[in-house]
Copies of this chain bind each other. A is one copy, B any other.
Amino acid sequence: MITTEDRLEILELYGVQSHAVDGGDGEAWAATYAEDGVFESPTYQLTARGRDELRAFAENSNGAALARGEQFRHVVTGIVLDEIEEGRVRARAYMTILATTAEGSRVDRSLVVHDELVRVAGSWLFRERKVYRD
């Protein structure tokens, strides 16, 4: 059973991730993953494994956006959770990336994420994310 506390902690973790990645704090973003966390983007054939690679990925992608004059915002909605077993949860969500430049704001892209979260030492963390681009 996913308790109300678990559920709210996980929902908040998505918010923490967005603020971290869009704020250029790759370390805080990587810290939302388990030590052996994996981020996989089949559409980009990219995989980041472990916190060092995860941090580098977040910093590079945010840095590249800023270099183009774009402020990204990762807008996450439609989070649905299913328990796999005690301490392991599968999640699906929509992730819309907004990009704002001097010209204005637009929807940069629409993604669906499939996540697995685990409870490690009492806290929920992402173990695996697969990103699918519409």
A19 at the B interface (CB under 8 A): yes
CB-defined contacts of A14 to chain B, threshold 8 Å: 78
Are B110 and A105 in contact (CB-based, < 8 A)? yes
Are B7 and A80 in contact (CB-based, < 8 A)? no
Given A76-B78, A78-B18, A94-B75, A134 and B100 touching (CB < 8 A)?
Answer: yes
User: A12-B80, A15-B93, A73-B134 are known contacts; what are 11 more A-B pairs with Cβ within 8 Å?
Assistant: A12-B79, A18-B77, A19-B78, A19-B92, A75-B94, A76-B77, A77-B77, A100-B110, A104-B109, A105-B107, A105-B110
A4 at the B interface (CB under 8 A): yes
Q: Which of A92-107 contact B (CB under 8 A)?
A: 92-94, 96, 98, 100, 104-107
Closest to A80 in B: B15
Closest 6 CB pairs of A and B: A100-B134, A105-B107, A15-B80, A15-B78, A71-B134, A18-B78
Are B4 and A94 in contact (CB-based, < 8 A)? no
CB-defined contacts of A78 to chain B, threshold 8 Å: 14-15, 18-19, 73-76
Are B75 and A16 in contact (CB-based, < 8 A)? no
